[in-house]
Amino acid sequence: MRILPDVRPTDEQLKIIGDVKPGLRIIRGAAGSGKTTTALQCLSQLVVARLKRRQRLGHQAPVRVLVLTFNRTLEGYIAELAERSTPSSDALDLNISTFARWARTIVGDVNIAGRDQESAMLRPLLQPFVTSQQHDFFADEVAYILGRFTPQNRSEYLTVVRQGRGIAPRVDRPVREKLLQDVLPAYEEAKAKRGLIDWSDLAVLAADAQPDLRYDVVIVDETQDFSANQVRAITRHLQDSHNATFIIDAIQRIYPQYFTWREVGITARPEIIHTLKENYRNTKAIAAFALPLVDGLPMEDDGTLPDFTACSRSGIKPLIVAGKYSQQLQTMLDRLANITDFRTESIALLQPRGGGWFKEARNTLRARGIPYCELARENEWPSGPEVVALCTIHSAKGLEFDHVLLPGLSQQVTPHGPQDGDADLERLRRMLAMAIGRARKSVMIGYKPGEESSLVRLLDPSTYELVEV
Ligand SMILES: Nc1ncnc2c1ncn2[C@@H]1O[C@H](COP(=O)(O)OP(=O)(O)OP(=O)(O)O)[C@@H](O)[C@H]1O
Ligand SMILES: [Mg+2]
């Protein structure tokens, strides 16, 4: 499967690449604006500058570089470009990793609770005051608290504006007190009893881990889905004179995380913020299709809406197929057969959830003799010749495909609360826009009439073609 290509930087990117002043900086921009590509191009400049400086000052320690990605698929997707853009030198120690893998190597031997174990521990603790439908929301709320506040500062949760979590359901002060005073201590106890830690604990432990790793250059991709404690852990391990780049688009956040730069000890002065404006990935038609999903959501400084005027290529209108799942897929594959040969251009078949949802897709692809591979969050990027990838929307974060198919977009797989400002609805809107934003050339969405996701209603009919089969 294809990876990120080498490109010739444009003027807006050259400005960022040429800036090798030590310090922290932030790269913002919409999906497809070349944030990851630009940061990787910076990497080679920074490494060369650092190697020269090391030689000049006669330092013995190697130049230490850390590139953190959100998941392993993304790590594999960019690793080759990252390696290609750095010189091979014994004086260079280059580590490309996910946060979780990096943190585990510095924290040592720990047993981390899986999401199911976390949920099983939390369920009885939440049960006295939330309904079973609200369980997932409050389990996310616990993750939000543990990710955003340091263990010493958790009481700040009582008064903070809960940005990034929608406005419904409301979480008033009595509920917050209950979470802090009853649920969290009992949850800590449940973990301790089982000899487990969770992902939030891992970040806190990584921030305290010895020795200080003193990285010279750090790049963090998809920072919007890192927790505050993860960012604190990263900045704790910087060399005094460092170059650290955080890539962020808050519009694409799909996990219950939020932090302000100030909270993580970073002063976001205008001179350290670089915003990329062009969209190199999507066609105008694709960006226009995605826009209504996220337009009107609470806007954050680090978020950038898809902008069709920033795209230079035109393309075919996105397609929505209404019909039974099998008919949706057949129609999509028939349409694709008119525009690609299934050998050269990449195709992603995305689903909001994994597991059994892919069964029919696998059978259909097999029956048509189309080879495919499966990408999962903890899988590496496949290096084989397949051009079709099955994956969850979460695992497609940061990746790019020529064609994106999203069959089976039913309300069942995109559940959310009834009110405006519902936290799940806002997350799903960002998630679907992010999924559409993976596409370079075409996008197709499918649903069964009567069972369609309410997200479909948010789309603007003038931006797509509807086919009923
Ligand atoms: N200067 C350029 N010229 C041509 N293509 C470019 C240029 N810069 C980036 N691209 C292409 O744009 C596409 C998107 O780039 P990239 O993945 O870096 O964007 P991104 O901002 O990180 O997107 P996302 O938010 O989805 O992660 C890639 O195909 C990349 O090769
Ligand atoms: Mg990217």
Give the tens place of pLDDT for each residue, 116-142. 999 999 999 999 989 988 999 999 999
Give the tens place of pLDDT for each residue, 176-217. 999 999 999 999 999 999 999 999 999 999 999 999 999 999
Give the tens place of pLDDT for each residue, 274-307. 999 999 999 999 999 999 999 999 889 999 999 9
Distances in Å between the Cα of 362 and the Cα atoms of 106, 124, 373 are: 39, 37, 10
CATH code, 11-108+201-276: 3.40.50.300
Of 411, 419, 418, give the one whose Cα is nearest residue 450.
411
CA distance 321 to 328: 6
Q: What is the pLDDT of residue 419?
A: 86
Q: What angle do CA 175, 179, 182 make, to 5 degrees?
A: 115
**Confidence label for 350 from pLDDT (cuts 50, 70 and 90):** very high
CA distance 98 to 221: 10
Give the tens place of pLDDT for each residue, 7-41. 999 999 999 999 889 999 999 999 999 999 999 99
Strand order in the sheet with 273-276: 92-98, 63-69, 215-220, 238-248, 23-29, 273-276
Domains 11-108+201-276 and 284-468 share a fold: yes
CA distance 445 to 464: 10
Nearest CA to ligand 1 atom 11: 280
306 lines ligand 1 (CB under 6 A): no
**Confidence label for 376 from pLDDT (cuts 50, 70 and 90):** confident
Residues around the ion ligand 2 (C-beta < 5 A): 35-36, 398
DSSP string, 9-44: --HHHHHHHT---SEEEEEEE-TTSSHHHHHHHHHH
Dig out the tokens for 324 from the structure: 């039974």
Name beta bridge partners: 10.
none
400 lines ligand 1 (CB under 6 A): yes
Q: What is the pLDDT of residue 249?
A: 97
| Mutational pocket test of ligand 1: of 17, 33, 37, 283, the residue with most ligand atoms within 8 Å of the beta carbon | 37
Domain ranges for the chain: 11-108+201-276, 115-196, 284-468
**Confidence label for 2 from pLDDT (cuts 50, 70 and 90):** confident
Q: 364 or 355: whose pLDDT is higher?
A: 364
CA distance 149 to 161: 13
**Confidence label for 378 from pLDDT (cuts 50, 70 and 90):** confident
Residues of the chain with pLDDT > 90: what percent? 86
Name beta bridge partners: 349.
390, 405
Q: Which residues contact 287 (CB under 8 A, 6 or more apart)?
A: 279, 306, 307, 308, 310, 311, 437
Q: What is the mean pLDDT of residues 249-257?
A: 95
> In angstroms, what is the span from residue 17 Cα to ligand 2's centroid?
16
Q: What is the mean pLDDT of residues 377-399?
A: 88
Dig out the tokens for 268 from the structure: 């976001």
Assess if CATH 3.60.20.10 describes domain 284-468.
Answer: no
Mean pLDDT computed over every residue of the chain? 94
Q: What is the pLDDT of residue 217?
A: 97
Atom of ligand 1 nearest to the CA of 4: 31
Nearest CA to ligand 1 atom 4: 7
Q: What is the pLDDT of residue 24?
A: 97
pTM: 0.96
Alpha-carbon Rg for the chain in angstroms: 22
Of 249, 253, 250, 244, give the one whose Cα is nearest residue 272.
244
CA distance 465 to 378: 35
32 lines ligand 1 (CB under 6 A): yes
22 lines ligand 1 (CB under 6 A): no
